Structure 1
Amino acid sequence: MIQSVDVSCSSISPEAKIGKNVTIAPLVMIASGCVIGDNVTIEPGTIIYENVHIGANTHIGAQCILGERLGGYKKGSDYVNPELRIGPDSVIRAGAILYAGSSMGRGFQTGNRCVIREGSHFGDNCSFGTLSQSDGTIKVGDNCRFHNNVFIATHTTVEDNVHFYPMSCTTDSLHPPCQIGREGPTIGAGSIIGAKVLLLPRVKIGKNCVIAGASVVTKDVPDGMVAAGSPAKVLKRREEVRCHLEDRPAYDVALESSQESK
């Protein structure tokens, strides 16, 4: 059952499966092979290309593009758009572009005008901030937060409970633009990546690390360590950092939250 302002102004393929109590605003396009779960809301001007699956109770903002077609679309009539899967209880905010061939778990949230390229796979309860971009072929665990203007290069692995702060960036080529042996960094569970941090290719950040803002990380960082500088150097253990407002370790709360969400 579709509850819509004006379905006549939208284009909905008869081959799309629409759940119960779905609200579709004007000027929405839904292509064949799409599956829209119950209680989904789709705001005006959104384009949903072939084979997009949207989980129940999800809100899609205005002028989003979901299931953006890949480069092969223009090369021949036999192109089949890979599936894009968005988990239930998600919020995709206005202007977001999510490519085909990606997946997002339950409770996924975006900011406005972010771009998520093909082969990006997120676990449950992740958020991806305004104007951030995944360059594709990345793997992200559960409960990860990417703040505004973050860039995640291809072949980056992010484990559970990781926070990326604004304008941080990962890279995947040892000597760009060379494409040989591209491999992004790996960020261990519970780590915090500060604002404007640059992580070089193949670097491994251990579990529960803190990388201070504006650092350039060129070497591996062991578990539980704080690193800072350009190039970044390991300074101390995470639990040695003291809060300036209270007499306690600075990262108690972050560490407890990380453990509770496992």
Structure 2
Amino acid sequence: MEKNYFVHESSYVDEDVEIGEGTKIWHFCHIQKGARIGKRCSLGQNVNISNHVKIGDGCKLQNNVSLYEGVELEDYVFCGPSCVFTNDLTPRSKYPKGSAGYKKTLIREGASIGANATIVCGHTVGRWALIGAGAVVADNVPNHAMMLGVPARIAGYVCECGARMNFENDQAICAACGRTYQKSPNGNVEET
């Protein structure tokens, strides 16, 4: 049966893995048992996808990214070079917990995570959020929030197209593409 995706010959794909049509897996990657990768994804050099990780359609993982068990990416998520995900809040080499101790991390549709950013497990990064390079996310992130610093804090909001938005009376119109947004009292932003 002909594959409808590309895996470089230096990469290793375990049994019981699903890879969507048009996906490209480049040099020195490892896709572990039970992983599910959507259509039209791109996995750069030295990417590790652990057991039972779910990746949606159209995701792009740059070089040196590891997604550990408990991490899920929805559609169109971007992971910059060497960004880091964790899955255990209190790891001990002597006292491993196994998958029962892993905390779920959800990266919602369209979110982008900058190079060398760290996402501490047990949190959700909202739709179309933008995590700056080197930021450390240790809490849930609202939709469209731009997060910078250590620990990461909201430094503004970005449109689905990526342009920074300015809110007036909790409403914004993207100057780049014209989408309109409403901000709720809890800081979440939704397109109107």
- TM, length-normalised to structure 1: 0.58
When Rg is computed on C-alpha atoms for both structures, the one with the higher figure is 1
Equivalent position of 1:192 in the other structure: 112
Equivalent position of 2:53 in the other structure: 138
Q: Do the aligned partners of 1:172 and 1:184 also contact (CA within 8 Å) in 2?
A: yes
Alpha-carbon separation, structure 1, partners of 2:176 and 2:156: 13
Describe the SS at the equivalent of 2:101. coil
Structure 1 segment 126-165 matched on structure 2, within 5 A: 126-165=41-80
Equivalent position of 2:17 in the other structure: 102
Equivalent position of 2:83 in the other structure: 168
Equivalent position of 1:18 in the other structure: none
Structure 1 segment 22-171 matched on structure 2, within 5 A: 36-37=1-2, 55=3, 88=4, 90-171=5-86
Offset at 1:250? 9.5
Q: Whose RCO is larger (CA < 8 A, sep 6+)?
A: 2
Offset at 1:101? 1.6
Describe the SS at the equivalent of 2:116. coil
Alpha-carbon separation, structure 1, partners of 2:176 and 2:17: 33
Q: 1:182–1:105: structure 2 CA closer, same or farther, 3 Å change rule? A: same
Supply the AA of the counterpart residue of 2:29.
C
Supply the AA of the counterpart residue of 1:208.
W
Offset at 1:236? 0.8
Equivalent position of 2:132 in the other structure: 212
Q: Structure 1 segments of 4 or more deviating over 4 A?
A: 249-252
- Identity across matched positions, percent: 24
Q: Which stretches in structure 2 are left out of the alignment for 5+ residues?
A: 166-173, 178-192
Supply the AA of the counterpart residue of 1:92.
V
Equivalent position of 2:156 in the other structure: 236
Q: Do the aligned partners of 1:184 and 1:200 also contact (CA within 8 Å) in 2?
A: no
Q: Report Cα offsets for 1:94-129 as digits up to 9, x if no partner.
A: 300111121101011011011111111011111111
Supply the AA of the counterpart residue of 1:241.
R
Aligned counterpart in structure 2 of residue 224 of structure 1, from 126, 144, 165:
144
RMSD: 2.0
Count of aligned positions: 162
Q: Do the aligned partners of 1:165 and 1:195 also contact (CA within 8 Å) in 2?
A: yes
- TM, length-normalised to structure 2: 0.79
Q: 1:207–1:251: structure 2 CA closer, same or farther, 3 Å change rule? A: farther
Alpha-carbon separation, structure 1, partners of 2:46 and 2:23: 16
Describe the SS at the equivalent of 1:236. strand
- Higher-helix-fraction structure: 1
